[in-house]
Structure 1
Amino acid sequence: MTSFICDQIIDFEALNGYEVQDIERLIEQINTLLADSEDSRVVILLRNAHYLTTRAFVILYNYIREPFSKNAVFVLVSSDKSRIFPPLLDLIEHRQQAA
């Protein structure tokens, strides 16, 4: 297991922010934190991820799929894995197997 000590934690509650514009603001926040310093490490805690709309999941999925900073880690927390966007789960499982 790789260790990751972070400088910032973004605690995002999807129960209250599950629409596309909420995810777009989250991505802006992540990009701003990562741009502030090349050495900045950010953990994004996405609680109740199963509340995201399909469109919000697509935005998040496309963001994570692109060449993504090694200085950011997403932690998705959900009590209902079956409601997580299937392509996102596939991507996560694929990356875990490659690691």
Structure 2
Amino acid sequence: MTSFLCEQIIDFEAAEAYEVNDIEGLIKQVKTYLAESEGKKVVVLLRNAHYLTTRAFAILYNYIQEPISTNVVFVLVSADKSKIFPPLLDFVQHD
């Protein structure tokens, strides 16, 4: 496992913000932070990820598939792995 020290954590609660526009806002926030803080690292903690809608998962999946900066790590936390978008599960490390 690679170590990753970060300067910023974005705590995102999906139980309260689970629609497409919420994920688009999160992605915009990540892009803005990375643009303003060249070289700094950010961790996005996406809590209760199983609440995301299928479209929101698709938007997140498409963003993660893009050649994004190696300075960002997404951590999805869920109590129900069966509700996570299957293509996303195939793409990420999980237990």
* 2: CA distance, partners of 1:80 / 1:69: 28
SS of alignment partner, residue 21 of structure 1: helix
Q: Partner of 2:12 in structure 1?
A: 12
SS of alignment partner, residue 45 of structure 1: strand
Q: Partner of 1:84 in structure 2?
A: 84
Could you tell me which runs of 5 or more consecutive residues in structure 1 were left unpaired when the two chains were aligned.
none
Following superposition of structure 1 onto structure 2, how do residues 1-99 of structure 1 map, counting pairs within 5 Å? 1-93=1-93
SS of alignment partner, residue 63 of structure 2: helix
Could you tell me which runs of 5 or more consecutive residues in structure 2 were left unpaired when the two chains were aligned.
none
Offset at residue 68 of structure 1 (A):
1.4
* 1: CA distance, partners of 2:39 / 2:57: 28
Q: What whole-Å deviation, never above 9, does each CA across 1:26-48 have from its counterpart, x for those lacking one?
A: 00000000001221100000000
Q: What is the TM-score when the length of structure 2 is the normalising length?
A: 0.95
Runs of 4+ with >6 A deviation: none
Aligned-residue sequence identity (percent) comes to: 71
Q: What is the TM-score when the length of structure 1 is the normalising length?
A: 0.92
Greater share of helix? 1
Compute the RMSD of aligned alpha carbons.
1.1
The size of the alignment, in residue pairs, is 94
